[in-house]
Amino acid sequence: MSSLKFIRYGAWAAVAALAIGAGYVTVSQMQTGGGGAQVASVASIGGPFTLVRGDGTTVTDKDFAGKPLAIFFGFTFCPDVCPTTLSDLQGWIEQLGPDADKMSYAFVSVDPERDTPQVIGDYVAAFDPRITPLTGSREQIDEVIKAYRVYAKKVPLDGGGYTMDHSAMIYLMDGSNRFVGTIAYEEDQATALQKLKNLIARNGA
């Protein structure tokens, strides 16, 4: 596992402690739980965005309205975290059975210079067709990264080239695009699946 993995968690320690520690947390529950500055930060995760799907068509946050959304940020040149997370997500989708269609799923590139629509489309197609591959211009990606409070940084490699250091978790949003929690990288499989089930049940309540 790359040593960069451990840096990814630093910028998100506080959010992860709130969201993962509770197992499944809603914004309203956090608002009644105190911790003013942290609550404001968590509650502000998410927002409007305009991106480009793998087939080249434009997609916005409104295209995901009405269904819960599991959204993950990464890049196609990622050596371990991204393919592992997408493989896990594929497995959870399969285990959800018919309920899987009550949610939306998206993989957003933090490396739009290399991840063109075709590149990210072909990459995500190797997992599950229900996972929407998203990229865009540098400006569009920067906007969605800012909205979701994602950590992403270009890291030069010896001999040229670069990799991307980035947040390594799945963000869980409700049908109104409100942040409700996360699934951590390599989280217990049963716990992660239950979080998705809870999110689907909450949206149907």
- Quote the tokens at residue 178: 């409100």
- The encoded tokens of residue 67 equal 């269904």
Judge whether 120 is annotated as a binding position: no
Does the annotation flag 78 for ligand binding? yes
Q: Tell whether residue 82 is among the known ligand binding residues.
A: yes
- Cα(123)–Cα(21) distance, integer angstroms: 32
Known binding-site positions for Cu cation = 78, 82, 166
Known binding-site positions = 78, 82, 166
